[in-house]
Structure 1
Amino acid sequence: MAASPSVLILHPRLTLFATSLRPFSLIHHQFSLRPPTPSRLPILFARSRNHSSSISPLPTATPLSTDDSKETPHAGRSGSVSSPPFQAADYSQKIDVNPPKGTRDFPPEEMRLRNWLFQNFREVSQLFGFEEVDYPVLESEALYIRKAGEEIRDQLYCFEDRGNRRVALRPELTPSLARLVMQKGKSVPLPIKWFAVGQCWRYERMTRGRRREHYQWNMDIIGVPDVTGEAELISSIVTFFKRIGITARDVGFKISSRKVLQEVLSFYSVPETSFSKACIIIDKMGKIPLEEIKKELNSVELSTEAVDELLQVLSMKSLTELEEKLGAAGEAVSELKQLFSLAEKFGYSEWIQFDASVVRGLAYYTGIVFEGFDREGKLRAICGGGRYDRLLSTFGGDDIPACGFGFGDAVIIELLKERKLLPELPLEVENIVCSLDPDLQGAASSVATVLRGKGQVFKRAARINARRLILVGSSEWQRGMVSVKILSTGEQYEVNFDELG
């Protein structure tokens, strides 16, 4: 991540202390000081190389239940939350200093890590020619109420606003993407290659790597009808993993296609209306007992014979075995073979494997689907995506071929912890300006202002790993000079103030 210029102004009383310490000790001491009394001049900071911003959760839509063993939200439509009568806060009582369950604060050290992660998301996306977009965190509830049976429907933070409109905090980004594509219409030339890094909300049971509030990296391609789109998306994720030190020994991708299920179910004349329901049930495999899976499939008009055949196909881990079962002429096998061929050309064959049980739980997927997984099996899916050619028509638009993926921030951090790959991101201050006399505080401020206006100064300093102490003394200042001390080496010299850089 590119360094930002930073300047720290020290009060004269701390100057002697500062000049006698190594750089890291100095910075550590700065942040361990108690807040000064109003009568003392505080330490002043300019922009630090890594800086934080505050995060304000949206408590208005937070479900009222605090018992995580009971995940059923209060009564309301589609998992909505009924608000109790407003009660004025009693400010005489100490407020709970913890954020709402399932949400996070980002103090400076966590914010530096988040910025590092997001910067890698952005740089990889731009490397592949994608442009960044964003959408409102608050959307119409109707955007997510697509088809019954999806988990996401019952995980919404949704409510009625003061204009009597049903709204929801976005649980994912793809529907917002679809809405924006429809809004833009033909004014945006195809193909569209957009990415976003946005906050999402789902009221669900919390486990390791799963929170009720998280950030998600999405990359989407609109207007590419063949599997070259999916191949490029997987390549971008592999590129990201390599950048942060994750290898094919750590992570893999399970690849399949929704069309595999379509071909099996069509043979048994299962109605189209049952297809998406069956996909949602199959996505629960491994989470609930197999007998329960069979019962749920029977309940959506699948015969016992169709269920047995379907489960047999879903157990396949070999594309050759699938081809022997379905034949080579069908779209499912043809597209999968093309994707695996492209993986060789992109250079990530060792990262991917065929697994017919992957279907993804969202109803809008139509073709190739994939999931990134931890090879040790300790974590939930790291990312997932696929093709969704018929998404726009669910909102009344004209369908356009499309594919994309979602990648959460929480699981990847857990994986980096597991592999001991979390980067060290200490706060770094490039320049420290000290006045040796209280009357020279104004002069020290002038020096800091000049340094802040010369961004190139700090880039040069970063290249030689130098952190400087700028001393403003009375005799030197009268001659228009300041003293510069390189803290990493102890070297000290005088520089004309006008030439300071």
Structure 2
Amino acid sequence: ARCAGAEAEEMRSLDPARAAEAAKAGGIVLEPPSGTRDFYPGEMRQQRWLFDKFRSVAASYGFEEYDAPVLEYEELYKRKAGEEITEQMYNFKDKEGASVTLRPEMTPSLARMVLQLMRAETGAIAATLPLKWFAIPQCWRFETTQRGRKREHYQWNMDIVGVASVVAEVEVLSAVVAFFESVGITSDDVGLKVNSRKVLGAVLTEAGVPDESFAETCVIIDKLDKIGAEAVEKELVDKVGLSAEVGHRIVQATGAASLEEFASLAGVGESEEVAELRRLFELAADYGIGDWLQFDASVVRGLAYYTGVVFEGFDKAGVLRAICGGGRYDKLLSLYGSKKEVPCVGFGFGDCVIIELLKEKKVLPELPAAVEYVVAAYNQDMMGKAMRVARLLRQAGKCVDVFPDAARKVKKAFKYADRVGAGRIAFVAPDEWESGLVRIKDLRGFDKDTPDELKQQDVPLGELANVDRFFPGSRLGAGGGAAAQAPTQ
């Protein structure tokens, strides 16, 4: 069923002819716009589970959550002119004539917010550094859709502002690893490719490439997997103005199998930039995440604002595109007007591709609905009493659904409780009510051969706040929620 957690993941692109036909017939198009998604309850439960994992990891690393408007001024992104992302914006003029866009990414919004904390005269930040912030924003890009890539997606961002050393990089890399481990993904499934734009910058300086061409060169090299080495070499010659020999040497160096080989091929030896990257790998090993990391000189990331270490999560089976990515961006705040450069490190982690990976590895949980109790009235005269019982259970912190029909036919109520995944069912009937009692049956907390006197109890109305103590040994414990086991009757 569409609303069970195994719904079809790939949204169907709408055929314009079908849209026109529907409009002509006076109907509406039922599919969402291409590249966007509906979230039925089963999918929504999985998304909430995923976001809870994001939040739990971020909190365990001392990060605080923030947010910003999904609608931003277009200029915020056009400051990084020439990037592919500026061509993919959902941008328009609002009714006041302002050029605005749905945010394609979160980092510029973060930069804008940090700038608001700065004192205009000195550039000092009116907050205790480092800032450790995270967010799970919805982002919009008009790009080609494919498995794991939509035009709208949610993206977990973690950023550290104010730490210049690679300790910050190792900390956010460790957070990524902690997330993977929390959802059952291992270093056999996923790896993190690490490189440094500083190292590449040293190579380009050695090759005579001017500083102003650095960002454009990185964006071109980032296309290696998409367009191949020959096309990248051609763009380096045509767009950056490198000689064919230098372009070939740069592309050849990006294929190095290790940091040492890259430094040797590129002629940068034991430079400061190489030493910094080596330090990162040493710290990662001490941290216990060294087996997740590997050097890859071809990873430069497509955003122009990265200035140092960059990294990218990848599926070792090669089935899916990049899972996450990030790096150091020490010059972004000054690009937006800061009087001083502020060191920053962060990553973005999209929801679409990780859901695909979890499905691929069969570790995405099928999450039951959250109903803990169904309350059923014996007849219509008892419906008001049933609602009172539901209210008392809710006041006790339980998630309660009221069976909408009278339950003279008990099987109907049981079927309903099973369908909504309830852990227990409460029957409100005249005889028990006269004695101030409610009959409650535990449907999922015991084995089938458990005696009925343990599974079914008459609970006093005044004790509904402590209902769990009437079911000692139940697997439902203090929650009373649905379990994976089928109900027993």
Report what 2:231 is aligned to.
292
Counting matched residue pairs gives: 416
Task: Please state whether the residue corresponding to 1:144 is helix, strand or coil.
Answer: helix
Contact 1:322 1:333 in 2 (8 A): no
- 1:395-435 CA distances to partner (integer Å, 9 max, x unpaired)? 11232000000000111111111111111212142111111
Whole-Å Cα distance in 1 between the matches of residues 40 and 422 of structure 2?
Answer: 27
Match of 2:111 among 178, 197, 203: 178
The amino acid that maps onto 1:138 is L
Question: Per the alignment, do residues 434 and 457 of structure 1 end up closer, same or farther by CA in structure 2, a change over 3 Å counting?
Answer: closer
RMSD over equivalenced CA pairs, Å: 2.5
Match of 1:157 among 56, 76, 90: 90
The amino acid that maps onto 1:96 is V
Match of 1:361 among 298, 302, 319: 302
Whole-Å Cα distance in 2 between the matches of residues 383 and 411 of structure 1?
Answer: 9
Report what 2:433 is aligned to.
477
Match of 1:122 among 55, 63, 75: 55
Report what 1:317 is aligned to.
257
Whole-Å Cα distance in 2 between the matches of residues 209 and 106 of structure 1?
Answer: 16
Contact 2:88 2:142 in 1 (8 A): yes
Whole-Å Cα distance in 2 between the matches of residues 153 and 136 of structure 1?
Answer: 18
Task: Please report how far the alpha carbon of residue 147 of structure 1 lies from its aligned counterpart in structure 2 after TM superposition.
Answer: 3.3
TM-score scaled by length of structure 1: 0.79
Q: Which moved more, 1:329-338 or 1:367-376?
A: 329-338
Whole-Å Cα distance in 2 between the matches of residues 264 and 238 of structure 1?
Answer: 30
Whole-Å Cα distance in 2 between the matches of residues 368 and 385 of structure 1?
Answer: 8
Task: Please report how far the alpha carbon of residue 447 of structure 1 lies from its aligned counterpart in structure 2 after TM superposition.
Answer: 0.8
TM-score scaled by length of structure 2: 0.81
Contact 2:194 2:294 in 1 (8 A): yes
Match of 1:223 among 159, 162, 179: 162
Superposition pairs of residues 94-173 of structure 1, within 5 angstroms: 94-173=27-106
Q: Percent identity?
A: 53
Task: Please state whether the residue corresponding to 1:386 is helix, strand or coil.
Answer: strand
Whole-Å Cα distance in 1 between the matches of residues 379 and 187 of structure 2?
Answer: 59
Report what 1:462 is aligned to.
none
Report what 1:446 is aligned to.
388
Whole-Å Cα distance in 1 between the matches of residues 45 and 244 of structure 2?
Answer: 54
Whole-Å Cα distance in 2 between the matches of residues 417 and 362 of structure 1?
Answer: 29
Query: Is 1:373 the equivalent of 2:314?
Result: yes
Match of 1:305 among 231, 245, 260: 245
- 1:289-323 CA distances to partner (integer Å, 9 max, x unpaired)? 32221221112122223212212221112112234
Superposition pairs of residues 349-498 of structure 1, within 5 angstroms: 349-397=290-338, 398-455=340-397, 467-488=423-444, 489=446, 490=452, 491-498=455-462
Contact 1:466 1:486 in 2 (8 A): no
Whole-Å Cα distance in 2 between the matches of residues 443 and 240 of structure 1?
Answer: 46
Contact 2:371 2:399 in 1 (8 A): no
Task: Please state whether the residue corresponding to 1:287 is helix, strand or coil.
Answer: helix
The amino acid that maps onto 2:109 is S
Structure 1 unaligned regions, length at least 5: 1-27, 33-49, 51-63, 68-88, 459-464
Report what 1:82 is aligned to.
none
Whole-Å Cα distance in 1 between the matches of residues 289 and 128 of structure 2?
Answer: 30
Whole-Å Cα distance in 2 between the matches of residues 456 and 293 of structure 1?
Answer: 60
Task: Please report how far the alpha carbon of residue 277 of structure 1 lies from its aligned counterpart in structure 2 after TM superposition.
Answer: 0.6
Contact 2:154 2:351 in 1 (8 A): yes
Task: Please state whether the residue corresponding to 2:117 is helix, strand or coil.
Answer: helix
Task: Please report how far the alpha carbon of residue 204 of structure 1 lies from its aligned counterpart in structure 2 after TM superposition.
Answer: 0.5
Match of 1:259 among 185, 198, 220: 198
Contact 1:259 1:331 in 2 (8 A): no
Contact 2:370 2:399 in 1 (8 A): no
Report what 2:214 is aligned to.
275
Task: Please report how far the alpha carbon of residue 92 of structure 1 lies from its aligned counterpart in structure 2 after TM superposition.
Answer: 6.8
The amino acid that maps onto 2:62 is G
Task: Please state whether the residue corresponding to 1:321 is helix, strand or coil.
Answer: helix
- 1:357-389 CA distances to partner (integer Å, 9 max, x unpaired)? 110000000000000000111111000000000
